[in-house]
Amino acid sequence: MMNKNKNLRYSVLCYIINNYENVKEVLVKDPNAEYILVTDDKNLKSDTWSVVYDESLLSLPSIFDRCYAIRFNVFKYCHTPICVYIDGNVQVNKPLTPLIDKFETGKYDMCLMPHPLRHDFITEYQAWVMQRGYPIQQV
């Protein structure tokens, strides 16, 4: 997607599907960034995020399908070439400029955020089973 506002350097995108999280307002916004919150709730409001109600999500069969439709198509919503996707439970406290500087200086294509508590997929998977009631048959 083309950058419609030449002053925008990067986008921050999160989503709230099925009212799973509460809106975490951005504490200090970067004037060179856009903050996009995608949702399937036409009544969701925010003082600091540009809320995008995507009605097309309602036609998808499950909540996970809606989440993946957003997560794997972030540039459907963003207007810059750099998108920082964050979980809806993460609050932006200040501009992400140092992260963006490093990303651009390193000429990186992608970066990943490590989990703050778990450092391997087996432990993470076990947490999903316990915390979300993931079916043991599926495990």
Per-residue pLDDT of the chain (139 residues; tens, 9 = 90+): 444 557 899 999 999 999 899 999 999 999 999 999 999 999 999 999 999 999 999 999 999 999 999 999 999 999 999 999 999 999 999 999 999 999 999 998 888 777 778 888 888 888 888 887 777 787 7
Q: Would you say residue 131 lies in a domain? A: no
> Cβ of 24: how many Cβ atoms within 10 Å?
20
Q: Would you say residue 99 lies in a domain? A: yes
Token output for 129: 């089973």
The pTM for the full model equals 0.80
Number of domains present in the structure of the chain: 1
The helix (H) or strand (E) run that includes residue 36 is strand 33-39
Three-class DSSP category at 105: helix
Domain range for 22 is 10-112
